[in-house]
Amino acid sequence: MLLKIPQVLTKEQVKQAKEQLQKADWTDGNITAGYQSSQTKNNLQLPNDSLIGRQLGDMILSALAQNNLFMSAALPGKIFPPLFNCYQGGQSFGTHIDNAIRQVPGTPVKIRTDLSMTLFISEPDEYEGGELVMEDTYGTQRVKLAAGDLVLYPATSLHRVTPVTKGRRLASFFWLQSMVASDEKRSILFDMDMAIQSLRNKVQDSPEIVQLTGVYHNLLRQWAQT
């Protein structure tokens, strides 16, 4: 399932993030690349110990915790702390697949990367190129969202970032381990949750809605791993 989640960050939060990232110290993006990815990765990244990165990452995680669409689709169990990258001057990231397991720096915590996320911080008209291109069973998708918007997609997808030929593309990227590992099962639960919410907006609670809600939670109880 690929899902675009609008306005995760407010305009004021986007402005704050840009101001902080403009004065940040950037380093080679290969600090988080595996062997295969390092062969095609050419960008800049905030170091893992960046105070600016940690502060902005906390802001993003707080915003996501309040986002019902994200919580319904992702069913997050553990989230890797958000990282930040920058593409400029023709930089790009060739076709690759994300590492299956990520260890949170400085901790023993390991996260299975069920879902990948990119939160756009630069507006689309602030740079040329820089599309996130994903290839999976749903076909090829090209994504370039408004600042503050996030795209959520299976970490099993082949994906790439096209060269940024003008301007500067700032974004946050990170991963999560879902309580439901299967993308197919998460999609079923998400569709059911959206349908239940839609019914509640149209009619008052009824025995049928209560029953459907029970089915949802019973499926989640059966499939979830915490």
Q: Can you read off the two tokens belonging to residue 42?
A: 């050419």
Binding residues: 96, 98, 159, 169
Work out the angle at residue 199's Cα, subtended by the Cα atoms of residues 10 and 150, and round it to the nearest 5 degrees: 25
Residues 150-177 as b/e (b if ≥16 CB within 10 A, e otherwise) read bbbbbbebebbbbbbeebbbbbbbbbbb
Distance separating the N- and C-terminal Cα atoms of the chain: 21
Annotated binding site for Fe cation: 96, 98, 159
Interatomic CA distance for residues 174 and 213, integer angstroms: 31
| Cβ pair 50, 24 in contact under 8 A | yes
**C-alpha to C-alpha distance for 153 and 175, rounded to whole angstroms:** 10
Mark the binding-site residues for 2-oxoglutarate, compressed into ranges. 169
